[in-house]
Amino acid sequence: MDRNRLEFAVIPTAIGECALVWNEDAEIVGSALPHGGAEQVRGAVRSWYPGAVEASPAAVAPAAAALVRLLGDGVGDLAEVPLNMSAVPDFDRRVYEVVRAIPPGETRTYGEVAAELGAPGAAQAVGQAMGRNPFPPIVPCHRVLAAGRRVGGFSARGGPRTKVRMLETEGVYLEQPTLFDL
């Protein structure tokens, strides 16, 4: 594969079609949560990564399998998926490294992530970095909440509802589930 060539695959998951984009070293350079269907995901990937070519996900099979497991039954960890963050600003990269360490079934607040970075007043900047996250859910921005365990924002299709659904798949309930939710 040519040094600058990117490939992508649309991956069916329990919450809809997602996408992984990778380089010749099988490092993920970007990903996408559902956008309403396979064609919409393809369109989003092609707009973000002009020239990316759709291919078999064989080169990134472990990442694709982990993605399907995580979005299906909330198990599986994407922390070992190799990312290429060379195009990511330094602050965002530091945020993503902290957030990647949050295990499935756990959450942090924007303020807690900022404090872990050594920048306790930077909760808003952490939120902005989460909004720019090119690696959802490999960098699990859905596990980062607003103060008081409120949902906060979520830039994926479906907004905060999608975030809540992803968290519930991992066993995190921001409100006590009712008998009908169990």
Q: What share of the chain is helix, strand, coil (3-state, %, to 5)?
A: 40, 15, 45
Q: How far apart are CA 118 and CA 109, in angstroms?
A: 14
The residues carrying an active-site annotation are 141
Phi, psi at 28, each rounded to 5°: -75, 125
Q: How far apart are CA 84 and CA 103, in angstroms?
A: 20
62-83: burial string, b at 16+ Cβ within 10 Å, e else: ebbebbbbbbeebebebeebeb
Q: How far apart are CA 129 and CA 12, in angstroms?
A: 27
Q: What's the distance, Cα to Cα, between the start and end of the chain in Å? A: 48
